[in-house]
Amino acid sequence: HQRVFSGMQPTSTLHLGNYLGALTNWVAMQETHECVFCVVDMHALTLWQDPADLKRAIREVTAAYIAAGIDPQKSIIFNQSQVSAHAELAWICNCVARLGWMNRMTQFKEKAGKDRENASLGLYAYPSLMAADILLYKATHVPVGEDQKQHLELTRDIAQKFNNDFAPQIAELGLGTGELGFFPLPEPMIMGPAQRVMSLRDGTKKMSKSDTSDYSRINLTDDADAIAQKIRKAKTDPEALPSEEKGLEGRPEAENLVGIYAGLSGVAKSAVLQQFGGGQFSGFKAALVDLAVEKLAPIAGEMRRLLAEPRHIDAILGAGAERAGAIATPIMNEVKDIVGFVRG
């Protein structure tokens, strides 16, 4: 049985990296797979959040999912904290994961910064909660951007170790699926021409919500003027665009803008270069502004419309949490039986 799971943190407004690296791929997978899409509010707490801002961000991310094309009737959309089994399985994952594995996580090192003694324990355990999110649904496919690759490798390691550590119990209870054990090893789905969208100000830095310059990213809530300004100001180099992909090597800003164009238009980078190769950036940027406004402005508009009715959004999350819980609870109960917990 195939099942897709993925999620985004409600820490601030989603940006073009979230959209092209993940959300557009979710929308595509929704046509062929059973999908569970989570707003990971428990992950957001690993760094301090103002409670009113967190609430707003949870609704905003939900609105972004729907505005981008996730259908809450077809796919499950919910926020993590409403299905308490995420926290329960995360504890089991904490006890399976090894300190040595956690110490290798590069995102923790980046986010904790120099003052590591002062980072939250939650930030350190973050990837283990992410593993729990995925395993709780026995998800087989996880569509994410390139920056989540290491976390997915850890998820597979945790699943594998659980399967090995409890192999006799899994067999005895008849809960194994073939030679795989209890948890399937989830496949990372890192797809498309924009797997790692870079900052518009510096092609060697990832586009991220934490960048202090708003000109570094296009937010899904930006209006047409803001989108146009940011693209016009985006860093480029003085050369003309190449006609072939290998001509982008060593030109991170050019490669990024071509990848963004490809992602937004749903074609490969090579096709974009066939069209614009040999031309100057000015012409290409004008075309990119038109394309970005055409694709993104309707999403911003739809988000505004949805956010005008927060109760409607909360109802979608509540109904989604019920459907998610219906999948998660039996799996969590099996995990409890496997590890030896008593259930009355």
Q: Kindly name the residue from 55, 149, 161, 209 that is annotated as catalytic.
A: 209
As a whole number of angstroms, the distance between CA 20 and CA 198 comes to 11
- Binding site annotation covers 206? yes
- Binding site annotation covers 197? yes
Residue of 245, 154, 263 whose CA lies nearest to 207: 263
Torsions phi, psi of 6, nearest 5? -160, 170
Residue whose CB is less far from ligand TYM, 136 or 241? 136
In the DSSP assignment, the letter for residue 237 is: -
Residue whose CB is less far from ligand TYM, 197 or 321? 197
As a whole number of angstroms, the distance between CA 62 and CA 303 comes to 9
Residue whose CB is less far from ligand TYM, 170 or 192? 192
Would you say the C-alpha torsion 255, 257, 261, 264 has a positive or negative sign? positive
| Percent helix, percent strand, percent coil in the chain, to nearest 5 | 60, 10, 35
Q: Find the shortest distance in angstroms from Cβ 159 to ligand TYM.
A: 13
- Binding site annotation covers 133? yes
Task: Please count the residues of the chain.
Answer: 344
Nearest residue to ligand TYM, scored by beta-carbon proximity: 21
Active site residue 111: yes
Q: Find the shortest distance in angstroms from Cβ 142 to ligand TYM.
A: 5
Q: Find the shortest distance in angstroms from Cβ 261 to ligand TYM.
A: 15
- Binding site annotation covers 145? yes
Q: Kindly name the residue from 206, 230, 269, 285 that is annotated as catalytic.
A: 206
Q: Find the shortest distance in angstroms from Cβ 45 to ligand TYM.
A: 12
Q: Are residues 307 and 63 in contact, defined by beta-carbon separation less than 8 angstroms?
A: yes
CA angle 47, 50, 54 (to 5 degrees): 85
Rg of the chain in Å (alpha carbons): 21
- Binding site annotation covers 314? no
Residue whose CB is less far from ligand TYM, 17 or 203? 17
As a whole number of angstroms, the distance between CA 88 and CA 136 comes to 10
Active site residue 114: no
| Residues at the site binding ligand TYM, with contacts judged by CB under 6 A | 5-9, 17-18, 21-22, 40, 43, 130, 133-134, 142, 144-145, 147-148, 151, 195-197, 206-207
Active site residue 230: no
Binding positions for L-tryptophan are 133
Tell me the catalytic residues. Answer: 111, 206, 209
